[in-house]
Amino acid sequence: MIGQTCAGKPCGSFGDISTMSFYPNKHITTGEGGMVLCDDPELADRCRRLRNLCFDPKKRRFVHEELGWNYRMTNLQAALGLAQLEFLDAAVIRKREIGQLYSSLLSGCPGLVLPPDVNRQNETNIYWVYGVELQASVPADAEEVMRRLADAKVGTRPFFWPMHEQPVLLQMGLFKGLSFPVAERIARRGFYIPSGLALTDEEITEVSRRVRAVMESLASSGSS
């Protein structure tokens, strides 16, 4: 995640391979697509071949040693992404401002667990998205709260669904009999609220007011 660190290292800089998404809601976007990072020349070469239909530059063109895909980025997409590098630092700063403002405005909101404001020497949170989790005491799941927020004209998005509960992976025989209770809990009890770079402080304040109103209403109904 661009701008974020863990254990003193930039996220995406450790492991055999890491990936970055350039989807429209990311800090840098090319419309779609992404990037693969690795420090192994053989892996890097294989990634290049896979994204280019597995043409082997050392052999005759249109001869394929394995199946590949057309994942080539267009020049227009690349130009769009490169131009945004000029504004990357400002985007990271603004994302932190948005996250910290939400945390300040939603502090003490009944029923909500807020994301940690990590800003230590070796770890930072840049709030790519602002996710909240419902406390166990809340008499509703994330879907119900999201419906209530939709009625209040607040857009939300659910958390990602756990890998071990993905139907396609279960059909492939993966994760059989395995349970990951933390992932299962937050998938059902968590959601994101608006945090795009275009949001103004006034809009964030209004979103926070409406979120607090919905949560206070749930708290009242649960205690009655």
Query: 39-64 pLDDT, tens per residue?
Result: 999 999 999 989 989 987 777 778 88
Is-contact 143 149, C-beta < 8 A?
no
Q: Give pLDDT, residue 181.
A: 97
Q: Give pLDDT, residue 220.
A: 85
**What are 55's two structure tokens?**
């043409």
Q: How far is CA 31 from CA 4, 73, 88, 196, in A?
A: 22, 10, 16, 15
Helix axes 142-151 and 201-223, enclosed angle (nearest 10): 120
Is-contact 145 157, C-beta < 8 A?
no
- Region 88-222: CATH code: 3.90.1150.10
Beta bridge partners of 18: 37
Is-contact 20 139, C-beta < 8 A?
no
CA 173 to CA 168: how far, in whole Å?
9
pLDDT tens sequence for the chain (224 residues): 566 777 777 777 788 999 999 998 888 899 999 999 999 999 999 999 899 899 877 777 788 888 889 999 999 999 999 999 999 899 999 999 999 999 999 999 999 999 987 766 677 788 999 999 999 999 999 999 999 999 999 999 999 999 999 999 999 999 988 999 999 999 999 999 999 999 999 999 999 999 999 999 998 876 55
Q: Give pLDDT, residue 223.
A: 58
Q: Give pLDDT, residue 174.
A: 95
Q: Give pLDDT, residue 120.
A: 66
Q: Give pLDDT, residue 222.
A: 63
| Count of CB atoms situated within 10 Å of the CB of 4 | 18
Structural domain boundaries of the chain? 88-222
Q: Give pLDDT, residue 142.
A: 97
CA 5 to CA 75: how far, in whole Å?
30
Exposure of 208 in the CB half-sphere (CA atoms within 13 A): 22
Residue 111, classified by CB atoms within 10 Å of its CB into exposed (0-12), middle (13-18) or buried (19+), is buried
CA 156 to CA 149: how far, in whole Å?
8
